[in-house]
A and B are shown apart, each in its own frame.
Chain A
Amino acid sequence: MAPRIEQLSFLIVDDYADMRGVLRNMLQSFGVTDIDSVANGREAIAHIESKRYDVILCDYNLGDGRDGQQILEEVRARKLIGVSSIFVMITAENTLLMVMGAVEYEPDSYLTKPFTKDLLAQRLERLLSKKSDLREIEQAIDGRDYERANELLDQRIAENPRNLNEFIKLKAELALKAGAYDQAEAIYSGVLAQREIAWARMGIGKAYYGNRRYAEAAQVFQGLIDGNERFMVAYDWLARTQQALDEPEAAQKVLEAATAHSAKAVVRQRALGELALRNRDEKVAERAFSQAIRLGRHSIYKHPSIYANLARVKAVTSSGDAAMMVLRDLKKAYKGDKEASLYAAMTEAVIQEDMDHGERARKCMVEAHELYKELGTQAAPELALDMARTCNRMGETGRASELLHQAVKNNHSDELFLKEVGATMGDLGLAEDPHAMIAGITKEIVRLNNRGVELAKLGKLDQAMLLFEEAVNGMPGNKVVNLNAARIFMLHMNETGIEPELIAKVRDYLERVRQMDAEDRTLHKMQRMLNQLLQK
């Protein structure tokens, strides 16, 4: 049973005091008593951090500071509200969602101003019953327990409910998330056989992409854009696909077209900047990075690398001094942040070197090495590439090569990233045949992993443990190796009982993976395994 509206707690976010009053009156007329209201994003986040709200009614347009979408992104990404909370975005103009439309996080519903209190009540009732209908499934998905979610979905689909398509859509999305691309493709094809519908067409494109059928995927995304030139998500996926097809120039053109339609997405501007930078199109890169910084000031998608890249571009398009100004902004925006300091140090080293300030450049480099070491496994993979480029420019070719080798070892299963490592090796002239070299390293790691798993299967857990412990020490930043090591250690304790020392190691491995990719599905499986083990 869905809860009744009057039992719920509400947060109203609107910069107009009058509008806040109107909304409060409406809610009170439904019998709601637990109502807080705030005027801007900063207050909204502070309230949501300290209290769990059932429903957030948030105006999109909030003047300066965060807009409604940025509040939504922040509270969902930081998991400040649970899956059962309802986020309603209030907009003045209903074409807005098409204009934005590229977003990872969508509100549960949009309401267009002005609306009557009858409509608000009707909408809230509908959202509540939908939430309670999907509660178990959403909770399973949120906990990355995809098997359970799938079971629940199959049960519901077998009942042939009136909103059958809703469940089918969820099931297909789940298949995509779980990497079951053939299954996803089959589901979407079934829907499309009934009728052409954009979400299913989009889904089939993603399934092709997942199965590395890039040419077909590109065709699907292009078709969607031809059918609706404001379908922003299709642009992002088309650009991503073209990158996978080694067509960075075409990808840049696509993102330029997308940003011309809808300039607001920070992530898209950043992606465009990075592509343009790779394509040596500094003019486009400069504009895109500047936009990304301006738009991203209050967004969870702001990132120090955007500043660093803008500084690099400015050093080319205007001057070293202009670049240094950007780095000052970077330090101001991220006081005390190690990753940001590293970006600043690396970038400054090169800029100073280019301005023939050798001594200052070397000082920056020393700082960069120090920070990189301190970050350890917390350093994002891309940092290794930047660091390698920087070392190479400073004449430390040995270190550059070492960094790239380690990057391969730490990310042996991430194909797109390996592609970038290869490109960097090629650019820097550090390997004659980067692809062959990368393939050699990854093959070795796969063999090692397989041998460990094989040993475990044969019951030789002691040997498997030794092997993975060594592997983890050699590749502390490798997700797969960390997860395998954690698993083997837990299998061992399943048989012989809890050993505090080993538990601490398992926790360590899982924490590393969490820092690298909190969304990793195997990570959640291992965490459940650890909980079960500790409950024994």
Chain B
Amino acid sequence: MKFYDVLASLIHDMKNSLSMVIHTLDEITADPLSGYDQPARITALQNEAKRLNNNLIELLTLYNIENERISPAIEDVDVANFLAEVMAENRSSAETNHINLTVECDPDLFGYFDENLIRNVLNNLVGNGIRYTRDRLLVTAAQEEGYLVFRVEDNGSGYPERMLTAHSPEGGYGDLAEGRTKLGLYFATMIAEMHRNGEQRGFIRLENGHGLSGGCFSIWLP
């Protein structure tokens, strides 16, 4: 058995376990008869389980990219529909964390990208956003300067100055072990750069105070 097959089959198994954990927690919170009176602790468990799941996906995707086992499958995607699904995936999690999660997108917007890869990136960003924002998260998509731009914005305290300057691939990623955020950045950059159209290449950008008062993470896809 090759390492990849072991990895894939273990991840498959772990995801089954995680599915069970996440769904059971969902059912407990949704069922008033379960008599559980400490929703904050359930929510904390849910957050951690989702984070674990996002980590697993990152792990497998990065392994695949590194070993050239993956190429983006660029398709024409109905962006409004796509974002509606991302919302649906994160709605209950935002609600239990008392965060107002909203989306803004032209209903007629179509884009060209790999739905699965970008979905993973957005799920990561929303998952992190839920932890770092004060009480709002805004996800938007728009056509700008010849790129399709996804933004995830919050009204938390924003990115620290050193991250705003040091996130570029040229600047390096610093010590990856320094924190999850940086691994997330690396992941998003890799996936953005896998999207190409002619000479153009995807990239990411970090800002503060774009639409909301906190951080704004954008992915630009050609």
Please report A residues at the B interface, Cβ cutoff 8 Å: 16, 18-19, 22, 25-26, 29, 61, 92-95, 97-98, 112-119, 121-123, 126, 162-163, 165, 195-199, 227-231
Identify which of B66-74, B165-173, B178-186 touches chain A: B66-74
Q: How far is the CA of A197 from the CA of B61 in the complex (A)?
A: 23
Q: How far is the CA of A98 from the CA of B71 in the complex (A)?
A: 8
Contact call B88/A113, Cβ cutoff below 8 A? no
Known A-B contacts: A95-B116, A116-B89, A163-B78. Give 19 more (CB < 8 A): A16-B16, A18-B20, A19-B16, A22-B24, A93-B8, A93-B60, A94-B116, A95-B64, A98-B71, A98-B73, A113-B15, A114-B22, A116-B88, A119-B88, A122-B84, A126-B85, A165-B76, A165-B110, A195-B112
Q: Contacts A19-B16, A93-B8, A93-B60 known; A114 to B23 CB distance under 8 Å?
A: yes
**Complex contacts, A112 vs chain B, CB 8 Å:** 116
Please report B residues at the A interface, Cβ cutoff 8 Å: 8, 11-12, 15-16, 18-20, 22-24, 26-27, 30, 53, 57, 60-61, 64, 68-76, 78, 81, 84-85, 88-93, 107-108, 110, 112, 116, 120, 197-198
- Smallest CB gap from A162: residue in B: B108
B69 CB contact (under 8 Å) in A92, A165, A227, A230 = A230
| A102 CB to nearest B CB, Å | 13
**Complex contacts, A26 vs chain B, CB 8 Å:** 23
Residue of A95, A198, A231 with most chain B CB atoms under a 10 A cut-off: A95
| A112 CB to nearest B CB, Å | 7
**Complex contacts, A121 vs chain B, CB 8 Å:** 88
| A131 CB to nearest B CB, Å | 15
| B109 CB to nearest A CB, Å | 9
A95 CB contact (under 8 Å) in B68, B70, B85 = B70
Q: How far is the CA of A195 from the CA of B221 in the complex (A)?
A: 14
Contact call A113/B19, Cβ cutoff below 8 A? yes
Contact call A123/B85, Cβ cutoff below 8 A? yes
Contact call A19/B15, Cβ cutoff below 8 A? no
| A57 CB to nearest B CB, Å | 13
Q: Contacts A114-B22, A162-B108 known; A198 to B88 CB distance under 8 Å?
A: no
Q: How far is the CA of A254 from the CA of B24 in the complex (A)?
A: 47
Q: Contacts A115-B89, A197-B75 known; A230 to B70 CB distance under 8 Å?
A: yes
**Complex contacts, A113 vs chain B, CB 8 Å:** 15-16, 19
Contact call A197/B81, Cβ cutoff below 8 A? no
Q: Contacts A61-B12, A126-B81 known; A197 to B112 CB distance under 8 Å?
A: yes
Contact call A196/B197, Cβ cutoff below 8 A? yes
- Smallest CB gap from B80: residue in A: A162
Q: How far is the CA of A121 from the CA of B84 in the complex (A)?
A: 11
Contact call B11/A198, Cβ cutoff below 8 A? no
| B199 CB to nearest A CB, Å | 12
Listed A/B pairs (26) with beta-carbon separation below 8 Å: A18-B20, A19-B16, A19-B19, A25-B23, A25-B27, A29-B30, A95-B64, A98-B71, A113-B19, A115-B89, A118-B91, A121-B88, A123-B85, A162-B108, A162-B110, A165-B76, A165-B110, A195-B112, A195-B197, A196-B197, A197-B76, A198-B74, A198-B75, A199-B75, A229-B68, A230-B70
**Complex contacts, B26 vs chain A, CB 8 Å:** 116-117
| B177 CB to nearest A CB, Å | 26
